[in-house]
Chain A
Amino acid sequence: MTDWTLAGLARAIAGGTVSPVEAVQACLDRIARHDARIRSFITVDAEGALRAARRLEAELSVGRPRGPLHGVPLAHKDLCHVTGLPTSCGTKTPAYFSAEVECTAVARLAAAGAVTLGKLNMTELALGPFGDNAHHGDVQNPWKPGHCAGGSSSGSAAAVAAGFALGALGSDTGGSIRLPAACCGVVGLKPTYGRVSRAGAMPLSWSLDHLGPLARTVEDAALLFETIAGHDPADATSSRRGVPYCVRSLDTPVAGLRVGVPENYYGDDVDPEVAAGAVAGARALERAGAVVIPLAVPDPRPLVDGCNVIARAESATIHGRLLRERPEDLQPAVRARLEVGLHLAAHDYLQALRLRARCAREFVRGVFARVDALLVPTIPEPAPALAWAKAGTVEEVVRKMGRFSRLTRPWNGLGLPALSVPCGVTADGRPLAVQIVGRPFDEPTVFRLGRAVERAAGGPVRRPQLA
């Protein structure tokens, strides 16, 4: 049963061939069998999940389904406040973060009938792209033990890939949904900035944070996105735009859509197998009738410098108390990145925000006058070994972090929707992925193109063999 897609299981539950309790129990059994090795969960709420499943089963038996996710088992990054469960944010402190009300995205999923299995492992404070965590264990890549699951939503991607949960919430400040999705061979969406409420989730950088779904297929990710997107008065940055149908338009042909493939930056120093995967993705779209256009895009490096200033200043402000009072609790690289923000001037922070505004306006007006979407690799190399990611001085580790996330960070700076979709595997079995990047608030087109890439790659991706 854990080999089902989310949409397939939701249909089976709605049709009465699978019960919510059976679905939840199957996930809990699989977690019990395998997660001691994968380390994707920080908290498994077996009792709460089964209680919720029994209630949903009773509601279904009297013909009262809550919504499209009725009885579907999910799990969420341990920075989402879920009523009754602690939120460590990957730190040493079990209840580091709390909020007055439950995370809006989690509450919307529950209102649609989803069951929360528990809280998922992550990089400490969501600061790092590899998924290592000294407090809760390094999340292992289900495809390749000893290799990174990607971060910071490491547990979210690993749990979905391993079949522990049918979908998960993650957060993305510089690639933290898409990097682990790419490393673990699942689909991950960073929506448009403002599209999904961040209320009730630990902030890292107010200007760059996004919440979004990870799932096994593009359809599953679209279904989760439709459920969590839309205005929320509890989040001051939440857009008032209506949410378009995404699942319904998934199979609208992509013929005629113009897809840009950047000639600069996004192919520089990229692993040959990753580059070949991106070429295969572009060819798949061409075969589906899209028009692939090589083009030069604005150099993202000044924007990324600006985002680094913004992220450092905001994260040091948010987590300054922990940094001042218990710095020894933090992993060295996390502490080093946070401390930089204490040394930045207000003038530089404001200049970075102004620069970002200009970059976004010029990019949207310039690039999207020529194409409808862009296709670029998600990760510059396949999931690296955990030992390599953690080796070296703090300075060297921070440099590796910056290198690994260099293809995802520009899209946080620009606030554009970016979907990571699997597009094959390396010769030694590590997943490859591309990002589809769209116009602001045009998630439907991003999902349509992602579905075409997924189909061409033979998706959905099969499950990894767990020992």
Chain B
Amino acid sequence: MNEPDRQPSRDAATLAAAIRRAAADLALAEEPSGFVVALEEGPELRADRD
């Protein structure tokens, strides 16, 4: 690999711009913790071991 030509702030700005576009229409009620709620909202499977 060649000598680093790092550009962390430029990469961060690109990522930030992408997320601002994608998240522009998020509902006010959307919370960061909603992810775990989305996973847990389905029914429990039967035949659990414990």
A residues near B (Cβ < 8 Å) are: 192-194, 207, 226, 230, 237, 239, 241-245, 248-249, 302, 305-306, 308-309, 312, 331-333, 335-336, 339-345, 348, 350-358, 360-361, 364, 390-395, 397, 415, 439-442, 444
Q: List the B side residues contacting A395 at CB < 8 Å.
A: 5, 7
Q: Which of A248, A336, A397, A440 contacts B42 (CB 8 A)?
A: A440
Give 24 pairs: A residue, B residue, CB < 8 Å, sorted on A. Answer: A194-B36, A237-B36, A243-B49, A305-B22, A309-B15, A332-B3, A332-B6, A336-B6, A336-B8, A339-B6, A343-B13, A351-B19, A354-B23, A354-B34, A355-B19, A355-B22, A355-B23, A356-B35, A358-B27, A392-B1, A393-B1, A393-B2, A394-B1, A440-B38
Among B8, B38, B42, the residue within 8 A (CB) of A441 is B42
Given contacts A302-B22, A340-B11, A439-B42, contact A244 B31 (CB under 8 A): no
Contact A242 B44, beta carbon cutoff 8 Å: yes
Q: Is the CB of A351 within 8 A of B26?
A: yes
Cross-chain contact B6 with A306 (CB below 8 angstroms): no
Interface, chain B (partner A; CB < 8 A) = 1-9, 11-13, 15-16, 18-23, 26-27, 30-42, 44-50
**B contact residues around A248 at 8 Å (CB):** 47
Closest residue on chain A to residue B30 by CB atoms: A354
CA distance A348 to B17 in the complex (A): 9
CB atoms of B8 and A309 under 8 A apart: no
List the B side residues contacting A333 at CB < 8 Å. Answer: 1
Distance A343 CA – B38 CA, assembled complex (angstroms): 30
Min CB gap A120→B, angstroms:
24
Q: Which residues of B contact A444 (CB under 8 A)?
A: 45
Cα A340 to Cα B34 in complex, Å, equals 26
* Partner of B16 from A241, A332, A344, A356 at Cβ < 8 Å: A344
Contact in complex: A394, B26 (CB < 8 Å): no
Q: When chains A and B are docked, how far (Å) is the Cα of A45 from the Cα of B19?
A: 46
Q: Is the pair A305, B19 in contact by a Cβ cutoff of 8 Å?
A: yes
B18 → chain A closest CB, angstroms: 4
Contact assessment for B15 and A441 in the assembled complex, using a CB-CB cutoff below 8 Å: no
Using known A-B contacts A360-B35, A360-B39, determine if residue A348 contacts B45 with beta carbons closer than 8 Å: no
Does the CB pair B38–A244 fall under 8 Å?
no
- Chain A residues with CB below 8 A from B36, complex form: 193-194, 237
Instruction: Pick the residue among A230, A305, A390 that contacts B50 (CB under 8 A).
Output: A230
Q: Known A-B contacts: A230-B50, A336-B8, A355-B22. Give 4 more (CB < 8 A).
A: A348-B19, A360-B35, A364-B42, A441-B39
A192 to B42, CA, bound (A): 13
> What's the Cα separation between A343 and B10 when bound, in Å?
9
Nearest residue (CB) in B for A398 is B11
**Residues in chain B near residue A341, CB distance under 8 A:** 12
Contacts of A364 in B (CB 8 A): 38-39, 41-42
Q: Does A249 lie within 8 Å of B47, measured CB to CB? A: yes
In angstroms, Cα B6 to Cα A461, docked, is 42
Distance, CA A266 to CA B9, complexed state (A) = 30
Cα distance, A390 to B2, chains bound together (Å): 9
Name the residue of chain B whose CB is nearest to the CB of A389: B1
A341 to B38, CA, bound (A): 26
Closest A residue to B45 by CB, please name it: A244
Bound complex: CA A355 to CA B15 (Å): 14
Given A305-B22, A440-B40, A335 and B30 contact (CB-CB distance below 8 Å): no
Give CA–CA (A364, B23) in the complex, Å.
19
* In the complex, residue of chain A having the shortest beta-carbon distance to the beta carbon of B6: A336
Q: Are A394 and B30 in contact (CB under 8 A)?
A: no
Please tell me if the beta carbons of B40 and A239 are within 8 angstroms of each other in the complex.
yes
Task: Select the residue from B13, B31, B37, B39 with max chain A CB neighbours within 10 A.
Answer: B39
With most chain B CB atoms within 10 A of its CB, the pick from A239, A336, A348 is A348
- Residue A354 contacts which of B8, B26, B37, B46 (CB distance < 8 angstroms)? B26
Contact A348 B1 (CB under 8 A): no
Whether A244 contacts B6 by the Cβ 8 Å rule is no
Query: A392: which B residues are within 8 A, CB to CB?
Result: 1-2
Bound state CA distance, A242 and B2, in angstroms? 50
Task: Let me know if A306 and B22 touch, CB within 8 A.
Answer: yes
Q: Which B residues lie within 8 Å of A393 (CB)?
A: 1-2, 4-5
Bound-state CA distance A62–B31 (Å) is 56
Report which of A237, A305, A351, A357 forms a contact with B34, defined as CB distance below 8 A.
A357
Query: Which residue of the partner chain, among A226, A351, A415, A439, contacts B23 with CB atoms under 8 Å?
Result: A351
Complex Cα distance, B34 from A350, in Å, reads 12
A360 touches B6 (CB 8 A): no
With the chains together, A95 CA to B12 CA distance in Å? 31
Q: Do A226 and B33 touch across chains, with their CB atoms under 8 A apart?
A: no
Complex Cα spacing A242 to B47, Å: 9
Alpha-carbon distance between A444 and B48 when the two chains are bound, in angstroms: 11
| A40 CA to B4 CA, complexed, in Å | 27
In chain B, what residue has the closest Cβ to A230?
B50
